[in-house]
């Protein structure tokens, strides 16, 4: 089941999923920023060689455009499985970006963000809107169990979770070696269906199919937005965009387009996905 399509601000994808009204989510496209080629234009990744001032302005624009209830905590993503609890992290001040590839939140007003390029942002929301999460799911993270780690840290039964699998590189463009295939098959023989041998003796990999096979996504409801070909709006090469999911107070000035998205968590990437949750009014 999914909700009807809702209008989204220009340059933003809004997940079409049955999340509670208290949950808000978004995925930004590459337009609307200030970065020069090859990072044009809404690159929010500080680690790819872009001008720092441009990245800072792009991040500011994202926060303003989405009317976020709090400043996102941008992570140092390393294709691992570490999960950051934003409710605890906010009390520990640090100048350095925390190293993690997933974030969870339960407190109102929290924004979980993941930065993604070729990799897939996965946003989670509990069905009651009390918790949200965002994960950075490339092949390394998926094989190592980043989605399992995120759900375990969130502490919500998979059957009570919603998951949104965001845009990622499609199988036509994702060529990998045998070691990548082996990393999945050693734990799941059925993952072979996500790999197809090409004429060069290498494998075309379906990242979305691999994500859908992960156990945390089995019992619950999930919505997938596949990226099967490169396009000018979503081409992930050389820039990072965010996906986010967040939780916000009931008085936060979020646009109606974000009212139906994930709770308290957010994911950003070279593109960006975001999810947030709002506290319910009495």
Could you report the per-residue pLDDT of 227-272, keeping only the tens digit for each? 433 444 444 444 566 677 664 322 222 222 222 233 333 333 345 6
CATH no., domain 12-169+216-277: 3.60.140.10
**Cis-peptide into 38, omega within 30 deg:** yes
Delimit the CATH 3.60.140.10 region(s) of the chain: 12-169+216-277
DSSP 56-118: HHHHHHHHHHTT-SS-----B--SS--EEEHHHHTTS--SSPPB-SEEEE-STT-EEEEEESS
pLDDT tens digit string along 34-46? Answer: 999 999 999 999 9
pLDDT number for residue 95 = 67
109 in Cβ contact with 73 (< 8 Å): no
**Helix (H) or strand (E) run with residue 146 in it:** helix 146-154
Average pLDDT of the chain to the nearest whole number = 80
- In whole angstroms, what is the distance from residue 15 CA to residue 27 CA? 8
DSSP 45-69: -TTSS--HHHHHHHHHHHHHHTT-S
**Band (6; pLDDT cuts 50, 70, 90):** very low
- In whole angstroms, what is the distance from residue 105 CA to residue 157 CA? 15
- In whole angstroms, what is the distance from residue 17 CA to residue 74 CA? 25
Q: Which of 158-162, 187-191, 201-205 is the least confident region? A: 158-162
pLDDT tens digit string along 80-136? Answer: 999 999 999 876 656 689 999 999 999 888 999 999 989 999 999 999 999 999 999
Percent of the chain residues topping a pLDDT of 70: 72
**Band (209; pLDDT cuts 50, 70, 90):** very high
pLDDT tens digit string along 52-70? Answer: 999 999 999 999 999 999 8
Q: How many residues belong to the chain?
A: 282
Q: Which of 24-28, 184-188, 195-199, 267-271 is the least confident region? A: 267-271
Q: What angle do CA 62, 237, 45 make, to 5 degrees?
A: 40
- In whole angstroms, what is the distance from residue 275 CA to residue 57 CA? 21
- In whole angstroms, what is the distance from residue 234 CA to residue 243 CA? 12
**Cis-peptide into 147, omega within 30 deg:** no
């Amino acid at each position: 089941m999914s909700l009807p399509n809702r209008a989204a601000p220009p340059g933003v994808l809004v997940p079409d999923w049955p999340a509670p009204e208290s949950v808000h989510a978004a995925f930004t496209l590459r337009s609307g920023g200030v970065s020069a080629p090859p990072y044009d234009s809404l690159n929010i990744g500080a680690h790819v060689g872009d001008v720092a001032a441009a990245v800072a302005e792009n991040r500011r624009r994202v926060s303003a455009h989405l009317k976020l209830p709090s400043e996102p905590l941008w992570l140092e993503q390393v294709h691992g499985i570490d999960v950051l609890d934003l409710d605890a992290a906010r009390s520990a001040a640090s100048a350095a970006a925390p190293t993690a590839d997933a974030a969870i939140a339960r407190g109102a007003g929290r924004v979980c963000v993941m930065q993604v390029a070729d990799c897939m942002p996965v946003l989670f929301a509990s069905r009651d809107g009390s918790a949200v999460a965002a994960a950075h799911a490339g092949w390394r993270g998926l094989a190592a169990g980043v989605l399992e780690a995120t759900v375990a840290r969130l502490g919500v039964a998979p059957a009570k979770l919603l998951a949104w699998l965001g845009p990622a590189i499609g199988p036509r463009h994702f060529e990998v070696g045998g070691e990548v295939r082996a990393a999945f098959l050693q734990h799941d023989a059925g993952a072979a269906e996500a790999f197809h041998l090409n004429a060069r003796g290498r494998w075309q990999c379906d990242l979305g199919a691999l994500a859908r096979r992960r156990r945390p996504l089995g019992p619950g409801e999930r919505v997938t937005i596949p990226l099967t070909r490169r396009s000018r709006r979503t081409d992930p090469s050389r820039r990072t965009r965010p996906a986010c999911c967040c939780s916000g107070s009931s008085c936060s000035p979020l646009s109606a387009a974000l009212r139906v998205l994930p709770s308290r968590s957010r994911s950003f990437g070279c593109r960006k996905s975001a999810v947030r949750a709002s506290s319910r009014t009495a």
